[in-house]
């Protein structure tokens, strides 16, 4: 008799009742919002039509940086679009470089009773470890067309050896 009860209990399927009725789209939006909060799912231009005209500083991206290790020097190149030379702050130690930049944009439109003012600000900061010790007193920086190039002379010349591939 006990084995017959076990078979019956195994065959029973219990239905789970949802606590509230949610459409598949609402459920998907709820899941996305739980992982990416802040209303990212709704595009900005749907809430504020004029914000689409304002460029976003750095657009949430980290500007590209290249570090080139040469025999006598280390070259650091950074793309900083929209940053003015006066808004750059660069500091060098013997083994690291810190690059800071800021952008600012403001536009105003006045026409009769219509007035619109848009502002955006952004900042960027990155600290890079250098591949070798450099002479920070001899560091040189150039900034042209949104590209920063730092030339950092090495304290000791690199010793390179060619290795044969077997």
28-65 pLDDT, tens digit per residue, is: 776 776 666 555 555 544 444 444 444 445 545 577 89
pLDDT tens-digit series, residues 133-156: 999 999 999 999 999 999 999 998
Regarding whether 149 and 88 lie in a shared domain, the answer is: yes
What is the extent of the structural domain holding 33? Answer: 23-53
> Does the residue 17 lie in any domain?
no
Both 32 and 67 in one domain: the answer is no
CATH at residue 108: 2.60.40.790
Integer Cα distance of 85 and 33 in angstroms: 39
pTM, full prediction: 0.57
| 85 in Cβ contact with 103 (< 8 Å) | no
CA distance 8 to 42: 50
Mind listing the pLDDT tens digit for each residue in 65-114? 999 999 899 999 999 888 889 999 999 998 999 999 888 888 888 888 88
What's the pLDDT score for residue 122?
83
Same domain, residue pair 66 and 140? yes
Q: CA-to-CA distance for 144 and 89, rounded, in angstroms?
A: 15
- Per DSSP, 72 falls in state S
CA 150 to centroid of chain Cα atoms: 22
State whether 49 and 118 are in the same domain.
Answer: no
Are 121 and 97 contained in the same domain? yes
Instruction: Check if the beta carbon of residue 155 is closer than 8 Å to that of residue 74.
Output: no
| C-beta of residue 41 within 8 angstroms of C-beta of residue 109 | no
Question: How far is CA 93 from each of CA 35, 131, 156, rounded to the nearest angstrom?
Answer: 39, 12, 15
Is the distance from CB of 73 to CB of 92 less than 8 angstroms?
no
Whether 76 and 127 share a structural domain: yes
Structure tokens at 4: 């017959």
- Counting the structural domains of the chain, the total is 2
Let me know if residue 13 belongs to a domain. Answer: no
Looking at the fold, whether 107 and 62 belong to one and the same domain comes out as yes
Q: How far is CA 162 from its chain centroid? A: 38
Query: Does any domain span residue 4?
Result: no
Query: Are 29 and 88 in the same domain?
Result: no
């Amino acid at each position: 008799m006990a084995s017959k009860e076990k078979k019956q209990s195994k065959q029973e399927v219990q239905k789970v009742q949802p606590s509230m009725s949610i459409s598949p789209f609402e459920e998907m939006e709820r899941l996305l919002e739980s992982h990416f909060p802040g209303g990212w799912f709704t595009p900005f231009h749907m809430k504020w039509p004029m914000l689409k005209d304002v460029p976003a500083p750095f657009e949430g991206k980290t500007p590209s940086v290249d570090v080139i290790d040469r025999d006598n020097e280390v070259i650091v190149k950074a793309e900083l679009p929209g940053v003015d030379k006066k808004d750059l702050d660069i500091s060098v130690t013997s083994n690291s470089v810190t690059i800071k930049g800021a952008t600012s944009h403001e536009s105003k439109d006045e026409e009769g009773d219509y007035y619109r003012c848009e502002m955006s600000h952004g900042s960027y900061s990155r600290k890079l470890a250098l591949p070798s010790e450099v002479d920070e007193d001899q560091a040189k920086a150039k900034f042209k067309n949104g590209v920063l190039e730092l030339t950092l002379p090495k304290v000791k010349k690199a010793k390179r050896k060619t290795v044969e591939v077997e």
